[in-house]
Amino acid sequence: MLKKEEFPISTTLYHAELGRMVADYVGRIDPDVLQSAIESRAVQTLEAIRCILNNSQLDDPGCFQRIDTLVKLFFQELEVNVNRHSEYD
């Protein structure tokens, strides 16, 4: 993938064209297949949230462990790498 400084066109135009290409590609997928894949991923994520909420080992009074675990799940599902100060403790 090109680095931002290597873009031969403005970032806005790059992202607009990339979005158009993705929408075009997704538009070729059978809507029922796409819907099923999205629902399956959503159900898996909800199941992971249910497991976190029911985890008796996360038993702090303010639920900070549960909230922190849910936030980590959120970033994991988005495939975003976030360095948080508490992870260095």
**pLDDT single digits (tens) 61-75:** 777 887 888 888 888
For 6-44, write each residue's pLDDT tens digit. Answer: 656 678 888 899 999 999 998 899 989 988 988 998 888
Its pTM stands at 0.49
pLDDT for position 72: 85
Radius of gyration of the chain (CA): 19
- Angle among Cα 83, 87, 89 to the nearest 5 degrees reads 135
